[in-house]
Amino acid sequence: MKISVLSELAPSQLSHAAALPLCTEDISTDAPLPGLPKDIAKGVREWVQHTGFNANAREFSLCTLHTPRGRLDIFLLGCGPRPALHAGILRVAGGRAAMEARRLAINNVDLFLSHSERFANPKPWVRAFTTGFIEGTYHIRKSANAKPSALSIKALRIVTGSKSQLVIARDESVRGAEIGGTINRIRDIANRPGNEAPPRVIARESQKIAKSCGLKYSAWNRAELKRQRCNSILAVAQGSKEEPYLIQLTYPGRKRKLPPLVVVGKTITFDTGGISLKPGKNMEWMKFDKSGGMAVLAFMSLVGAVLKPDRPVIGLLAAAENMPGSTATRPGDVITSRNGKTIEIINTDAEGRLVLADALDVASGLNPACIIDFATLTGAALVALGRQVSAIMSNHAELSESLQKAGERTGDRLWPLPLYPEYAHLLNSPFADVKNIGDGTAGTIIGGMFLKAFVKPGIPWAHIDLTSAWEERPTSHGPAGATLFGAALLAEWLDSKGPETT
Ligand code: BES
Ligand code: ZN
Ligand code: ZN
């Protein structure tokens, strides 16, 4: 798709579709919408009055005008009141615009930002809209030889209304397209079911991505994990015939001596629960229990191909399949994890924290500037927060706040939960240093508390418990399946400040 940025567009040059984000304030007066061709501004006004379109966030209306130049479909994209506007609203609006364009078989779309002072400063709106627009073009390939859809959008033109903002808007649209494009590319891996994407396939795909993005690839297989005493990862994998891997992607950076940023992803390619078997209903969604790792993979691909920071960045994917079987871990088994702590495995379904325990210990040994992990760790996070925001827990207030801010600028939003030391006793075991579950209260926090015990003290660390790593059905703004929540967030965080904040 070709993306271009212009300060204005003569009526004679308009495409057949226009996307028009509108805040409630933009339609609350009778003043004509500035920055739009007169007849279009008038037509939109009349349509808004006629239909009662309120411009609430996520509200959509298709306004079709018949102009002397022909038919024009205008996507009215509600963005809600200005004080509550955040990048996620624009990202969703972008996705919606792309979905509508595809539905109407439209090839060219013009995005207008020129009519609203809210969008006069293109940051972060242009990046968020473009990311969402590209994400909205993604479609799941139902078979390997399925033809690419004929309904492809050829061009997006962004009309800013001001010359002074052109350069920023252009850069932001390029970055948005890179992020959206990378997310879509990794979605092809992330959407694969358990049978098609066991850990060895994730390792192979990671190697391909590394090669194409200039990253160094290495991986520990079962034998190497044994040598490295990663007994916690091995315990999760021991009921499966599929070999576990700890995959490492390294971006060396120009300043190789600087401490690296280390990102870690839970990559359970299928989570049956193990001997603590999950109920059958809805278990199919546990193919997305690799989502943390997939977000890390997308981020690392952006680091190598696009962001290219000075500082080294390392991605770790702790990949295993959690299966029941005669060789599987039993409830009550005690293992010695890589950092020497013994763990009593009460519930084999709390496996994410086990693979992460060893991965965080490996991360701690890399002299990191900071560690950030992503995981579909607890169902409790979804119960507490729903799908609009994921949970963040951290031992470092500044790191946590900078990640939350980056979340607000991308739509990958985060909400903090506390890791008070008073929770720690819930993990006490009479038979080991810790057990892997608490008493059922504060499920998400207990997951965070457990992980904290495996991060070397003094290292700034944040843990993100994902609530919206996948969609179970198509939404107004995108397809069903993996969302790669976290990839855009990390890219924005690294772009703006990164580990400098720590
Ligand atoms: N992968 C699940 C968590 C999960 C479930 C995320 C559903 C998103 C949707 C994780 O491995 C798990 O099973 N966690 C247990 C922890 C419990 C045993 C302490 C859970 O949430 O029930
Ligand atoms: Zn589980
Ligand atoms: Zn899991």
pLDDT band at 126; cut points 50, 70, 90: very high
Closest Cα to atom 5 of ligand 1: 379
Question: With pLDDT > 90 as the criterion, what percentage of the chain qualifies?
Answer: 89
CA–CA distance, 484 with 411 (Å, rounded to integer): 12
Candidates 127, 170, 222, 353; catalytic one = 353
Which residues have CB under 8 Å from 15's CB, separation 6+? Answer: 106, 108, 109, 110, 155, 157
Residue with tokens 């990559």: 267
pLDDT over threshold 70, residue 310: yes
Rounded percentage of the chain residues whose pLDDT exceeds 70: 99
At 485, give phi and psi (nearest 5°).
-50, 130
* Nearest-angstrom CA–CA distance, 429 and 332: 10
Rounded Cα distance between 176 and 129, Å, is 8
pLDDT at 147: 73
pLDDT digits (tens, 9 = 90+) for 324-365: 999 999 999 999 999 999 999 999 999 999 999 999 999 999
Angle between helix axes 487-496 and 166-190 (nearest 10 degrees) is 140
Q: Is any ligand 1 atom within 6 A of the Cβ of residue 379?
A: yes
State how far the Cα of 231 lies from the Cα of 228, in Å rounded to an integer.
8
Confidence class for position 383, pLDDT limits 50, 70, 90: very high
Q: What is the mean pLDDT of the chain?
A: 96
Instruction: Tell me the C-alpha distance between 369 and 87, whole Å.
Output: 28
Whether the per-residue pLDDT at 162 is higher than 70: the answer is yes
**Calpha distance 270→75 (Å, rounded):** 39
Sign of torsion, CA 372 376 377 383? positive
User: Each residue of 271-302: pLDDT tens digit?
Assistant: 999 999 999 999 999 999 999 999 999 999 99
Mean pLDDT of 417-436: 98
Q: Which two tokens stand for residue 277?
A: 């078997």
Alpha-carbon span 411 to 459, nearest angstrom: 27
Minimum-distance ligand 1 atom for the alpha carbon of 436: 19
Look up 353 and say whether it is catalytic. yes
Q: How far apart are CA 494 and CA 500, in angstroms?
A: 9
* Residue 382 near ligand 1, beta carbon < 6 Å: yes
Name the band, by pLDDT with cuts 50, 70 and 90, for residue 118.
confident
Between 150 and 419, name the one with better pLDDT. 419
Ligand 1 near 376 CB (within 6 A): yes
393 CA distance to ligand 3 middle (Å) = 18
Q: Which backbone phi and psi does 305 adopt, to 5 degrees?
A: -95, -25
Is the confidence at residue 28, as pLDDT, over 80? yes
Query: Ligand 1 in contact with 350 (CB < 6 A)?
Result: yes
501 pLDDT band, cuts 50/70/90, is very low
With contact defined as beta carbons under 8 Å apart, do 404 and 389 qualify?
no
* CA separation for the pair 209, 488 (Å, rounded): 17
Coil, strand, or helix at residue 324?
coil
pLDDT at 146: 78
Distance CA 184, CA 187 (A): 5
Cα–Cα distance, 453 to 281 (Å, whole number): 33
User: Span 82-104, mean pLDDT?
Assistant: 97
* Separation between Cα atoms, residue 36 and residue 26, nearest integer Å: 13
Those residues with Cβ within 8 angstroms of residue 195's Cβ, 6 or more apart along the chain or in another chain: none
The CA 350 to ligand 3 mean position distance, Å, reads 7
Angle between helix axes 397-408 and 487-496 (nearest 10 degrees) is 110
Confidence band of 150 (pLDDT split at 50, 70, 90)? low
190 has a pLDDT exceeding 60: yes
Q: For the segment 449-479, what is each residue's pLDDT rounded down to a tens digit? A: 999 999 999 999 999 999 999 999 999 999 9
Q: How far is the CA of 376 from the centre of ligand 2 (A)?
A: 9
Minimal-distance CA residue to ligand 1 atom 16: 350
Among the atoms of ligand 1, which is closest to the Cα of residue 379? 21
- The 10s digit of each residue's pLDDT in 257-276 is 999 999 999 999 999 999 99
Cα 319 from Cα 251, distance rounded (Å):
20
Residues with CB under 5 A from ligand 3 (ion): 268, 271, 289, 352
Any ligand 1 atom below 6 A from CB of 437: yes
pLDDT band of residue 24 (cuts 50, 70, 90) is: very high
